[in-house]
């Protein structure tokens, strides 16, 4: 199995090299790692045994961020290095002030792993969710570097859980502690002989922090003007099309669409779904009285959710729903499409009455009308969503306490 893993790394790197002239994301991946040994040697020379956290991309960074911020607060003299695998995370957070250095993780070959860990010389390695790079883990174990997994998830279909996954199981023993999102993952970790604690997901801490610090978006607040409002967060075409049909039924309800993509072609398509009865945020005037507001700017969604009566999340008809917690933390019922199987929080929100799934226009229409007309049910659903988030918070404190007592001494 080790041979197949090494071969897969070679083929993956070669494939990205070949694709880089034609695929922008592949080009960023390749360019970001060019001459990395020389570059990193220079960048790391003044960082003494830093705390190292690795995240696959932007979503995993947001999970790890509360831990890094807490470590920076309690250990201000410690250097922090943050690595990404994906350009979509690195390009957004390459100048993040919470870390002393933000760089790419080199491709996980044997030599790359040995050279990178030797250059970095971390005091601790922290991986987020399910970033399992076997050669890097092997080097960390050989060098006796404390290695921690946070917000982890182990699933039965992971290769190291299979009968033929012995090589992977040995590499996974590099983890000196794993902090897991659910009991099932804790049990899986223990079958591998890896220490594990149930901590939950650090994203809960992150959304609570965001909600406490965020301020309202005044133009959106004024647009809604106290009327019932549906916020479509990180929406794609299916949600936008369904809400376009719903808007004809309930013209008294304000709709704020915050699309996942804000390219001109997509914005025009949204306007077509709502038959032109909308205005873009960038063109909004005090005198506008349209039913639908299309947010054509980024970085506002988590604040806009505070204005919602109900939130409709995008992604449930594609690869999977977007972050339910960003809306739930404000005491807002969350509705989403049918593809949520891999999202623990979606199942738990449904179970506690704070979330609902829909698969058709009829499902969405009936769910929205029921919540809008039964104000008490809507309030109770929102309350359940908020309480769920608040009860799940606290993972960061548990993780940082462990690191303070066992690693950063």
> What pLDDT, on a 0 to 100 scale, did the predictor assign at position 287?
65
> Which pLDDT score, from 0 to 100, does residue 165 have?
72
pLDDT computed for residue 166 by the predictor: 81
Q: Which helix (H) or strand (E) holds 259?
A: strand 254-259
Same domain for 23 and 132, yes or no, is yes
Give the tens place of pLDDT for each residue, 124-140. Answer: 999 999 889 999 999 99
Residue 307 has pLDDT above 90, yes or no: yes
Condensed to tens digits (0 to 9), the pLDDT of residues 155-185 reads 877 777 777 778 888 889 999 999 999 999 9
Which segment of 267-271, 284-288, 388-392, 394-398 scores lowest on mean pLDDT? Answer: 284-288
In a domain, 142, yes or no: yes
Tokens at 362, concatenated: 């009829």
Whether residues 157 and 76 share a domain: the answer is yes
The residues pairing with 232 across neighbouring beta strands, listed in sequence order, are: 257, 312
357 lies in the same domain as 400 = no
Any domain includes 205: no
Distance CA 302, CA 300 (A): 6
| Judgement on whether residues 182 and 241 belong to the same structural domain of the protein | no
Q: Does the residue 314 lie in any domain? A: yes
Question: For 92-121, what is the mean pLDDT?
Answer: 96
Residue 91 in domain? yes
Residue 405, both tokens: 């007592």
360-377 tens-digit pLDDT: 888 888 999 999 998 899
As given in the structure block, the two tokens for residue 190 are: 């223990």
Asked whether residue 212 is assigned to any structural domain, the reply reads no
**Percent of all residues in the chain with a pLDDT value above 90, rounded to a whole number:** 79
Q: Based on the domain organization, do 228 and 152 belong to the same domain? A: no
Residue-wise over 106-129: b if at least 16 C-beta within 10 A, else e? Answer: bbbbeebbbbbbebbebbbbbbbb
246-305 pLDDT tens trace: 998 899 999 999 999 999 999 999 999 999 889 999 998 876 678 999 999 988 999 999
**Residue 183 and residue 135 share a domain:** yes
Question: In 3-state terms, what secondary structure has residue 300?
Answer: coil
The tens digit of pLDDT for each residue in 197-237 reads 999 999 999 999 999 988 899 999 999 999 999 999 999 99
- Please state, in angstroms and as integers, the Cα–Cα distance from residue 392 to each residue in 69, 89, 187, 189, 348, following that order: 19, 26, 20, 21, 11
Domain assignment present for 207:
no
Residue 138, in any domain of the structure: yes
Residues 141 and 299: their CA atoms lie apart, in Å, by 39
- Does the residue 319 lie in any domain? yes
Average pLDDT, the chain: 92
Whether pLDDT at 74 is above 70: yes
Residue 403 scores a pLDDT above 90: yes
Q: What is the mean pLDDT of residues 325-354?
A: 94
* Total number of domains in the chain: 2
Domain residues for the domain of 26 are 2-200+394-406
Q: What are the backbone dihedrals phi and psi of residue 333, each rounded to the nearest 5 degrees, phi first?
A: -60, 140
**Which pLDDT does position 98 carry in this prediction?**
94
């Amino acid at each position: 199995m080790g041979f197949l893993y090494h071969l897969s790394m070679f083929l993956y790197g070669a494939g990205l090299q070949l694709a880089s002239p034609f695929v922008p994301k592949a080009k960023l991946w390749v360019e970001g790692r060019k001459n990395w040994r020389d570059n990193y040697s220079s960048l790391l020379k003044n960082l003494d045994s830093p705390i190292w956290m690795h995240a696959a991309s932007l979503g995993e960074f947001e999970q790890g961020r509360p831990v890094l911020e807490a470590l920076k607060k309690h250990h201000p003299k410690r250097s922090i290095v943050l690595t990404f695998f994906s350009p979509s995370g690195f390009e957004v957070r390459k100048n993040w002030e919470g870390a002393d250095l933000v760089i790419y993780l080199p491709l996980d070959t044997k030599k790359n792993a040995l050279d990178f860990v030797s250059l970095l010389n971390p005091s601790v390695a922290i991986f987020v969710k399910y970033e399992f790079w076997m050669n890097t883990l092997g080097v960390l174990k050989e060098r006796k570097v404390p290695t921690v997994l946070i917000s982890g998830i182990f699933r039965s279909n992971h290769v190291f859980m299979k009968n033929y996954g012995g090589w992977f199981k040995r590499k996974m023993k590099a983890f000196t502690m794993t902090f897991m999102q659910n009991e099932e993952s804790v049990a899986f970790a223990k079958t591998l002989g890896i220490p594990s604690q149930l901590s939950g997901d650090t994203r809960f801490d992150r959304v609570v922090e965001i909600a406490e610090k965020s301020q309202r978006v005044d133009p959106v607040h004024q647009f809604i003007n106290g009327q019932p409002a549906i916020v479509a967060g990180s929406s794609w075409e299916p949600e936008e099309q369904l809400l376009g049909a719903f808007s004809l039924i309930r013209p008294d309800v304000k709709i704020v669409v915050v699309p996942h993509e804000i390219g001109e072609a997509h914005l025009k398509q949204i306007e077509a779904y709502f038959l032109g009865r909308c205005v873009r945020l960038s063109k909004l005037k005090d005198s506008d009285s349209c039913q639908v507001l299309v947010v054509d700017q980024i970085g506002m969604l988590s604040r806009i959710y505070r204005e919602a009566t109900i939130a409709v999340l995008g992604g449930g008809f594609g690869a999977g729903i977007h972050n339910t917690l960003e809306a739930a933390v404000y005491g807002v019922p969350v509705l989403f499409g049918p593809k949520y199987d891999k999202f623990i929080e979606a199942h738990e929100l449904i179970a506690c009455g704070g979330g609902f799934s829909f698969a058709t226009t009829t499902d969405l229409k009936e769910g929205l009308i029921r919540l809008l007309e039964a104000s008490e049910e809507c309030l109770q659903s929102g309350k359940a969503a908020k309480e769920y988030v608040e009860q799940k918070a606290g993972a960061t404190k548990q993780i940082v306490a462990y690191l303070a007592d066992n690693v950063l001494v």
